Amino acid sequence: MSGVIYGLDLAGVIVFALSGVILACRSRMDPFGMLVLAAVTGIGGGTLRDLVLGVRPVFWVTDPTYLWVILATVGVSLVGFHYIHRLSRGFLPIADAFGLALFTVIGTHKALLLGTSGVVAVLMGMMTGVAGGMIRDVLAQRVPMVLREEIYATAAMAGGIVYVALQALDAPLTFAIAASLSVTLGLRLAAIHWHLALPVFAWVTVPPKYQDANAPLSTPQKAKERVRMIRRERTRR
């Protein structure tokens, strides 16, 4: 079964590296910029996870296969540059969603193997899925997708919780992996398609509902500031 986990990890690196290449093309970067974005997206989250968990050296140092996979992804992308450049803008979030689901499972699984608690494992899974994309977007001078898009980190957290719960119930590993992937990917794709987002809370100024006609003009009613839940408007891409 370790071969399945390893294969999923490499698949996640390929998908995330491809999302980095796509963003680099849209940002008009040179091949070195494409390689940098592909690398930080493909192994950035896992690197941060290993550093937090105290794993030394990090995974790609002991197994350079990850680096070769990134190089191969960038090389193939350069050959097929014209095809990648013509991909619709909806392809990047979809590719990112698949990478998010794969890395959430990998990060949660590795944290549990190292003996962490379920809460820590869920956080490590979310970090593995989210951190690489955040670094990619910052380098491309974009607001990170996790901060500006619909449900994103929440999907990773939900998938991690499902995986930890099923492992605690001694469910088969393949079933736990499939269920976690389905939950994370399903939530993220649904958010992309229907523009689902969590509500936000903000300070708003509430004007007075009415003005007392008998009150002196020098003492008008003041507007009040309150915390209210605001639902994000659905925008079309």
209: domain range?
Answer: 204-230
Number of domains in the chain: 2
Could you tell me if residue 36 is inside a domain?
yes
Specify whether 57 is located in the same domain as 127. Answer: yes
Q: Point out the residues of the chain with pLDDT beneath 70.
A: 1, 149, 202-237
Same domain? For 73 and 7 the reply is yes
pLDDT at site 200: 74
The predicted structure's pLDDT at residue 89: 80
pLDDT of residue 236: 46
H helices of 63-172, where?
65-79, 81-85, 91-113, 118-139, 145-148, 153-168
Residue 24: other Cβ atoms inside 10 A: 26
Task: Compute the distance between CA of residue 182 and CA of residue 106 in angstroms, rounded to an integer.
Answer: 14
Question: pTM of the entire structure?
Answer: 0.87
Looking at the fold, whether 182 and 214 belong to one and the same domain comes out as no
pLDDT of residue 237: 45
- Confirm whether 237 is domain-assigned: no
Give me the sign of the Cα torsion angle 141, 147, 149, 152. Answer: positive
> Could you report the per-residue pLDDT of 172-182, keeping only the tens digit for each?
999 999 999 99
R_g over Cα of the chain = 22
DSSP letter assigned to residue 233? P
Structural domain includes residue 236: no
Which residues, other chains included, contact 170 with Cβ-Cβ below 8 Å and sequence gap of 6+?
Answer: none
Q: Which two tokens stand for residue 3?
A: 């071969």
- The answer to whether residue 235 sits within a structural domain is no
**DSSP letter string, 48-89:** HHHHHHT-SS-HHHH-THHHHHHHHHHHHHHHTHHHHHTS-T
Do 226 and 120 sit in the same domain of this protein? no
Q: How many angstroms separate the CA atoms of 58 and 47, rounded?
A: 6
What pLDDT was estimated at residue 227? 63
Domain-located, residue 52: yes
Average of per-residue pLDDT values in the chain: 88
Same domain, yes or no, for 69 and 137? Answer: yes
> CB 190: neighbour CB atoms within 10 A?
15
